[in-house]
Amino acid sequence: MDFHALLRVAHITGFAAWFGTIFASLFLLKTLQPGLTGEKKQAEEYSLLLRRFIKLETKVADAAVILVILSGLLLAHFHAGWTPWVFAKIGLVLAQIALTIGYIIKAIQPIAYPCEPSRYTAWYRLFTISFSMFGIILIVTFFLR
């Protein structure tokens, strides 16, 4: 396998791992919702489980994001060139990271459990942001290039 193919495999694998961590979080949070919005004792246990999961999920997502960025920059430098499309993709990835982190700080971190179901919907808005940005990135990458 040549260097270009290895970079593409790394880039696609990193993107898939990043996307997969978001899906795993969505499924876990949907499963934990009754406990995190219900009784205090159960919410404490579920909250501990959620914090542990997020700590592990963050490690995987961070590694995946770093892999996507590094492999993408290497692909641009050695194979694609620094075209406007490359800069558009860089901007979209940075926008996704900024929007996600900003929303987590603003809306997710302040949640204390148990919480009201209406407050818990902040999690679903976070997934809407993430999946929308993934969709935009994929559309730009595969259909507008």
Model confidence pLDDT, tens digit, residues 13-55: 999 999 999 999 999 999 999 999 999 999 999 999 999 999 9
| pLDDT tens digits for range 52-81 | 999 999 999 999 999 999 999 999 999 989
What's the rounded Cα separation, in Å, for the pair 56 and 28?
13
Does residue 145 have a pLDDT over 90?
no
Six-digit token string for 57: 């999920």
